[in-house]
Chains A and B, each alone.
Chain A
Amino acid sequence: MKTRFILRKAINALMLGLTGLCALVTVSVLFFILGYLLWNGGRALDWNFFTKLPSPPGETGGGMANAIAGSAKLILISVLVGLPVGFMAGVYVAEFSGKTMAFFVRYTTDLLNGVPSIVIGIFVYAIAVLPVKHFSVLAGGLALSLILIPVVVRTTEEFLRSVPGPLREGALALGARHWQAVATVIVPAAARGILTGAILGAARVAGETAPLLFTSFNNRYWSPGLGEPSASLPVMIFTYAIAPYDDWHRQAWAAGLVLLGLVLAANIATRWILSKGLSAQR
């Protein structure tokens, strides 16, 4: 009896310690990455990083202004294409499709979400780069939008479904047609959630590298318009990190820090938006 009690206590302590340790590992990974980036990237991060073009190989200094602008352009294109498509598809699945169709779209969306991003890169390379025979920001943005669409579809659908039934009934009981209830009550009630999904999705595609390698490619200069290859932060990190120059390594760390900062900012923004929404509904 006594030994079993001791054994049970020991196993309890062991398992508790193990689960706690794993939780600690998970949390510390983020802080380790963050600390390492801050340590290495922070030292290389200066004003020039945001304002100057990359300096020629062998020369120190310079920055990644063109990559920052390129990333901004890529994200903008992906959101302009991916948000409306994903949003409309989500509205269709949540509100207008039959059960079979909803299942089919949802399943396909999940599969699309699981397609390796490099495969999406090759696909867009085949349809948007090969025919015109040059890399372009547009192709890169398109590749990112294909990654963004399933994220937006699913968040739109989930937040629309979480709109309380009585709100929907309230609109219908006042003589609203289904589409009117969707457009004037249900979507506005879910808007904050959908917006946070879009922001998180955009933050995710901002860090995608593989689909850009053969779509928007890279560029050491400014890339005017949408038809030229362009630098972007993730591809610059890749290029600089495998280069043999110490100065480039430092700048790659700095670019990593900027990207991570972007993702963190997006996360904080969504939490803020959601909490504002909750307090408005009380």
Chain B
Amino acid sequence: MTLDSALLMNSTRGPDRGTQGMAAAGTPKMRVSRLGFWYGSTLALENISIDIPVNRITALIGPSGCGKSTFLRVLNRMYETVRHTSVEGEALLDNESIFSMDVTTLRRRVGMVFQKSNPFPKSIFDNVAYGLRIAGGMDGLQLREAVESSLRRAALWDEVKDKLHEPAYALSGGQQQRLCIARALAVNPEVLLLDEPSSALDPIATAKIEDLLFTLKQSCTVVLVTHNMQQAARVGDFTGFFLLGKLIEFDRTDIIFKRPAKRETEDYITGRFG
């Protein structure tokens, strides 16, 4: 594959990136500086610095095991569920350190959608209402309205409005993943982390989720981990390339795919990697 053919996959559905440079992206929503991360004594992330721009889709690409998922799990401190991990450096959410923040507050502000859809063994309604219920402070009517608006934002409402109280497992794989997105959106996160959200889905379900991401970025800052380069090219405003625990390059998506500055990036996106 040549560089040009890689570019052709950058479909017309992609956003207009012409005017959005790093400087034009405004204040970063999250600022990560000199971040290091260890599983036990194994270094998984090394000296990562990245500014995640507000209301944009930041795509993170790289081969398996390069640390992109680990990086995502640092941003909402999900790594803390694993024993014997350590982290150094700083990560800020609106200029506030995520490491000194209450972890449940952080996770409400920075939501996450996982690679494999993981609906709870509850009804569709209860799945979406889950985050709101544990946060408390909503009456039944508010809860119903919030569930409906979240399902609408996840483009799932029309498909499930008549079966809200049926088990979530009855939905198809793509619907389940959108349900998980709706569930994450219900608590109104400022940042949404998606860890290969469509890797288990067929192309039609994938397209639905990608369409969804375009509308979501109006209200959310999106960070998308994908091992599918075409997906990064299609939906990412910015793209970061990870390799062996390092952030090799981070720039506007068109630059990454058209004129990458680093040899490793070019090798990877043209398929010469290996």
Contacts and interface: CB of A to CB of B under 8 A. Distances in A.
Contacts, number: 69
A188 B111 CA distance: 23
Contact of B187 (A167, A169, A174): A174
A186 B158 CA distance: 30
Contacts of A177: 104, 134
B231 to A, nearest CB: 21
B130 A169 contact: no
Interface in B33-87: 76, 78, 81
B112 interface: yes
B130 A166 contact: no
Given A164-B118, A185-B120, A280-B167, A174 B183 contact: yes
A189 B127 CA distance: 13
Interface in B168-224: 169, 180, 183-184, 187
A168 B118 CA distance: 9
Contacts of B261: none
A170 interface: yes
Interface of A, secondary structure class, is helix
A194 to B, nearest CB: 14
A174 B114 contact: no
A185 B131 CA distance: 12
B118 A174 contact: no
A172 B120 CA distance: 12
Nearest to B132: A174
A105 interface: no
Interface residues of A, number: 21
Interface string A168-203: 111111111100100011001100000000000000
- Give the 6 A-B residue pairs with the shortest CB-CB distance, closest first: A174-B131, A166-B118, A175-B108, A173-B112, A170-B118, A175-B104
Interface of B: 76, 78, 81, 104-105, 107-108, 111-112, 114, 116, 118-122, 130-131, 133-135, 167, 169, 180, 183-184, 187
14 contacts: A166-B114, A167-B118, A167-B120, A169-B78, A171-B120, A172-B78, A174-B111, A175-B131, A175-B187, A177-B104, A185-B130, A189-B121, A280-B121, A280-B167
